[in-house]
Amino acid sequence: MRAIDYFDRGHDRDPQRLAVVDTETGLKLTFAETKELSERIAAALQRGGFENQDLLGLYGPNDGMLLVVLLAMWRANGKWIPVNTRNAIDANAGYINYVRCKWLVYHSSKADEVQQLKDRCPVMQHFVCLDKRMGDDPSLEEFMAGVTAADFVEPEVDAFGNLSDLVGIFPTGGTTGPSKGANVTNLGWGTMIETAADGMGGRTDSPVALVSAPITHAAGPIALSTLSLGATQVILPGFDAERVLRTIADYKVTHMYLPPTALYQLMASPEIGDHDYSSLRIFILVGSPCSPEKLRQAVDIFGPCMCQSYGQVECPMIVAWFPPEDVARFAKEAPEKLAACGRPTRSIRVALLDDDGREVPRGEAGEICARGALVSHSYFEKPEETAEVRKFGWHHTGDVGKFDEDGYLYIVDRKKDMVVSGGFNVFTAEVEAAVTELAQVREACVFGIPHEKWGEQVHAVVVAEGITGEEIIAYAKDRLGGVKAPKSVEFVPEIPRTAAGKMDKKALRVKYWGDAQRMVN
């Protein structure tokens, strides 16, 4: 099916059910109203010259109308370009020019940034401001003036749902250079939604999904997945720990998504014990590994709703799934298994390969490789980069993992982040998990720094209170042994993050490595 078909399937369940609730603007739309409004916006796009498979960027904080525009763009068979509000202007301009995006719908709060993008992006031709007129750029309401849903012309579609058409060109993390654009087709997107719905569906007759992470990042795909289940989307403009906790209780939220770092902020909030979280059925952690100890604590706080998924832009969201019933069981019976990210889903095959393309024995570490309909088609206009990650008939994720005896997958490290110290391989994710077991440590980022004798030594950057570096090192040495334990610890108020919300190890390495090659390999 097409991306928009999944929203329409949710609409068909109950057209009069609320689809969108924007807690900031007060916007409330039923599925029927959302469908009609998306058809009207799609008609306005067509009137304005929007063509089949045109590119449209969305830029702004979370907003209910931003989600409706996304649906309208797919209804007109366009391709989505997420423009990350956390990115530097140069990074966003470079990506827009690279993929040649013509259209931009933005929020007025980003008007200054948009003016800079206009100056740097000659490829962009059409601008619409979501909430009000900005200079020559019409407001969305002005842009829609004079058209109705009946004016929308359905694009040509085949009985399979145009499986090879693109739903978007999604930027990779870009931690080692400019982002590449992953070409994601209707086939890949639909595979993701169907697989996610398998894990999230059937748990309540009245699903309510909280959207506080950026719609322009992973929250967008998850929102579409829950919309396909008929879930009401309760939208916050951004993440605020106390507001999230109150919203769960006030709206009886059943489904939500956050990265582990946001979970840690919820757990540290002074309001954590003040609200009722019993409505929660699915609380997905995705984006980076979660501390097993903090995941165990989260089960105690939020109940048997905690779950994890593993994926990347090139195989979106759901390569592996750790369902809430497994997480809750292991929290009581086998807490060491909480370090896993789940088992491979039915929509994809996963293998752990060595550098020669051979599968490694179970229990040993190898690069996580994937094959199946979930895998993106290619990188946009980058055949050499595509070939680099498509060796031996597999997509190579760049992540290192291992399977346990029960088939659970553990993310050991990014291949480029592994520390080689005195000839021994040290996986930084394992060290980070051990260090964050300490109650005084909120976050830890581990990487290698130069050492004259060993080549590299393990270094930890932590956000912590009430503990010394020596105590952290001693604990890690007891848990992991002398080779893997940090040899030095640095305390910081916050760990820097990339625009995708991941820990920015490259930025932290700079003062130790400068421009040395090992810093990024």
| CATH code at position 209 | 3.40.50.12780
**Assigned domain for 460 exists:** yes
| Cα dihedral 253, 254, 260, 263 sign | positive
Predicted confidence (pLDDT) per residue in 328-351, tens digit:
999 999 999 999 999 999 999 999
Write down which residue in 238, 267, 296 finishes a domain. 238
Whether 63 has a pLDDT exceeding 60, the answer reads yes
- pLDDT of 440 higher than 60: yes
Residue 170 forms part of a structural domain: yes
Last residue of a domain, one of 189, 208, 238: 238
- Both tokens of 313, joined, read 């832009």
Q: For residue 508, what is the domain's CATH number?
A: 3.30.300.30
- Residues 6+ away with beta carbon under 8 Å from 386: 378, 379
pLDDT score recorded for residue 506: 82
Confidence band of 507 (pLDDT split at 50, 70, 90): confident
Q: Which of 192, 182, 191, 183 is nearest to 165 (CA)?
A: 183
Q: How far apart (Å, rounded) are the C-alpha atoms in residues 392 and 57?
A: 35
Give the model's pLDDT for residue 227: 96
pLDDT category at 174 given cuts 50, 70, 90 is: low
135: region left, alpha or beta (phi > 0 left; psi from -120 to 50 alpha): left
Number of domains the chain contains: 2
Q: DSSP assignment of 292-336, as one string?
A: HHHHHHHHHHH-TTEEEEEEETTEEEEEEEE-HHHHHHHHHH-GG
Distance (Å, whole) CA 276 – CA 230:
23
In a domain, residue 378? The reply is no
Q: Is residue 275 part of a domain?
A: no
Question: Among 165, 189, 169, 188, which residue's Cα sits nearest to residue 180?
Answer: 169
More confident residue, 112 or 415: 112
Tokens (6 digits) for 128: 């619409």
Q: Is residue 374 assigned to a domain?
A: no
Residue 44 domain boundaries = 3-238
pLDDT value at position 86?
A: 82
Residue 133 lies in a domain: yes
Domain boundary among 210, 238, 266: 238
Average pLDDT along the chain: 93
The pair phi, psi for residue 515, each rounded to 5°, is -105, 20
Provide the pLDDT confidence category of residue 521 given band limits of 50, 70 and 90. very low
> Which residue did the predictor score with more confidence, 112 or 499?
112
What are 68's two structure tokens?
């409706």
- Whether 517 shows a pLDDT value over 60: the answer reads no
User: Is residue 143 included in any domain, yes or no?
Assistant: yes
Binned at pLDDT 50, 70 and 90, residue 177 comes out as low
What letter does residue 274 receive in the DSSP assignment? S
Q: Contact at 8 Å (CB) between 145 and 136?
A: no
Q: Quote the distance between the C-alpha of residue 383 and its chain's center.
A: 25
Give yes or no for a contact between 41 and 91, defined as CB atoms under 8 angstroms apart.
no
Q: State CA 115 to chain mean position distance.
A: 27
Residue 505 lies in a domain: yes
